[in-house]
Amino acid sequence: MAQAAQQRDDDLFGRPETIESQDIAPKMMRLVPEMTDAARRAELEAAFAMFGTLETSKDGEWANTSSPSASGPAARADAAAQRRLPELTSRGLHFDPKLPLQFIKALDWMVIAAAADLAARWGTGFGLADMNIGAALAFVASASALKVGLWLSDAYRTSPSTIRAERGLGGLTLGAFIGLLMASVLAPTARDAGALSAVLPLAAALLASLHAALAIWIRAAHKKGIFSETLVVVGATEAAERFVRRTARNGDARIIAIADDRLARAPSTLGDTPVGGGVEALLAWEGLPHVDRIVIAVTPKAEARVRAIIARLKALPNRVDLLIDYDAKAVQGRGAQRIGGVPLVSVSGRQRNAAHLLLKRAQDLVLGSMLIVLFALPMFAIAAAVKLTSKGAVVYRERRIGLNNRVFTALKFRTLRSGGETTAIGGLLRRRGLDSLPQLLNVMRGEMSLVGPRPHTVGLQTAHGGLSDVVTDYAHRHRVKPGMTGWAQLQGACGQPHTPACVRKCVRLDLEYISRASLWFDAQIVLRTALAFFKDPIGA
């Protein structure tokens, strides 16, 4: 039976080589492993061809090097078309990373001033305010040596990601030593020198403790992302990959997405950051108002492409930066900044001034609270009059565009009936701007400021199309918070422009305000608004 089975196999598959073919058998035995390896490589190549093997091309762009096939390009195109920018519905908590260092500097001056005053009272029995300038100078100069020591030791050259608890210890030790030398020379009497010698080491020890405690808190806050900006990178390049890797390591930024017009040859992710959508998708992305900064990571060698991207992104209110090559060590200037040690140069968008923003917010809170108290009774009377003279809600809620194109609900007293006609007191309220008084609540919530460009309604159109179609710089007015009153209103610009001429005038005056913005300028606008209330209408 065995012989019969063998005969059937021979008939089906062919008779095997006989022992007489001894010259061929060894060659076949050697070819079997090679054929097996080749088959395995073919299987692997086929498998990788399904997904695409990725390499980088000479210009730093990501390129797909999978073997061409009939279905490969179409499959990659379909995969690229399915990519989307991630959903982003709110802006992450973020404080300027310069604020902690500025706070530490201010705290140092407060402790130094207190130390100088304590030494003066101990030595002379009088405070610094009661002494003449010459006598007070010895105490102030000796105590200020603590600050000099911190400067000389570069204790202030740090950031939330690099700050250490022991960083200021050496500088304070040096400063205390310098202060003691200055006290022995400048102090008018031995008693004054003794008072300084006792107070300065204590002040240095107190500052060292405060620096250590603040450093621990700042580093803990930094790990939670409190000082991290929300970024989007344009260009899935090698530079972008390094930038993503470094910011992920040091936590200086939250890069939530990478946009690239060449998705078919870009990877799906760089690190943990998704790559999805091109520049046009980025411009239409609903999450863009919650992005702090857009970084262009396309190699500067592709000058035409970089210029084209900048031209398209300049229409946004968001700050736009250009990532510079990593070997550019000496990048400096007012528009230059480093994130994660990577140099960036601002090409569009207003520079953030943390001190100005903080003071402006404090101004809004203080003056806003005072105005709410001052207008409490008038607002109650207006609300009663609106309710008694017409049917409907007292307060009208309207969606308007705010900072960075964020949409918020602006509050106003209702001045129209359901049919569209003006209420009994609606005309007076609109002429004098009293219908905007409820927006004081928007100011207190941080959605608006007392002074700034007037917020326009969502989807406002002119006969020639959208406002951004009439004036290309229209979105630049959204780089600051909208205001209850502003420079454009005082100059007679339309409150809600409906003609191209009104749009152009409004944008020109708003950009003029942004370029001149200061607390003093805001104070002038508030004062002129109050005077205009009794003379001319200030617009809505």
What's the CA gap between 349 and 355, in Å, rounded?
18
Read off the pLDDT of residues 160-179 as tens digits, 9 standing for 90 and up: 888 888 888 999 999 999 99
CA angle 20, 22, 24 (to 5 degrees): 115
Strand partners, 96: none
- Indicate the range of 165-174, 310-319, 352-361, 374-383 predicted with least confidence: 352-361
Q: Where are the beta strands (DSSP E) in 176-272?
A: 229-234, 253-259, 269-270
Q: Residue for token digits 């205390």? A: 176
Residue 407 backbone dihedrals phi, psi, to 5 degrees: -90, 130
Short-list 394, 417, 340, 331, CA closest to 159: 340
> What is the three-class DSSP state of 407?
strand
CB 289 within 8 A of CB 96: no
DSSP type of residue 263 = G
Residue 19 has pLDDT above 50, yes or no: no
Residue type, 188: P
What's the CA gap between 428 and 435, in Å, rounded?
9
Helix and strand tally (H, E) in the chain?
Answer: 18, 16
Question: What mean pLDDT comes out for the span 390-404?
Answer: 87
> What is the three-class DSSP state of 320?
strand
Question: What mean pLDDT comes out for the span 454-470?
Answer: 64
> What is the three-class DSSP state of 261?
coil
Mean pLDDT of the chain: 78
Question: What mean pLDDT comes out for the span 332-339?
Answer: 62
Q: How far is CA 339 from CA 101, 159, 227, 254, 293, in A?
A: 16, 10, 11, 11, 11
Read off the pLDDT of residues 488-497 as tens digits, 9 standing for 90 and up: 888 877 666 6
- Residue 366 banded pLDDT, cuts 50, 70, 90: very high
- Residue 46 banded pLDDT, cuts 50, 70, 90: very low
Residue 151 has pLDDT above 90, yes or no: yes
Greater pLDDT, 536 or 217: 217
What's the CA gap between 332 and 310, in Å, rounded?
21
CB 468 within 8 A of CB 474: yes
CB 483 within 8 A of CB 526: no
DSSP element (H, E) containing 283 = helix 279-283
Greater pLDDT, 415 or 111: 111
CB 204 within 8 A of CB 167: no
Residue 59 has pLDDT above 80, yes or no: no
- Indicate the range of 120-129, 196-205, 363-372, 415-424 predicted with least confidence: 415-424
CB 390 within 8 A of CB 423: yes
Residue 491 backbone dihedrals phi, psi, to 5 degrees: -90, 10
Short-list 392, 437, 386, 466, CA closest to 540: 437
What's the CA gap between 244 and 161, in Å, rounded?
16
What's the CA gap between 268 and 273, in Å, rounded?
9
- Residue 540 banded pLDDT, cuts 50, 70, 90: very low
pLDDT at 248: 83
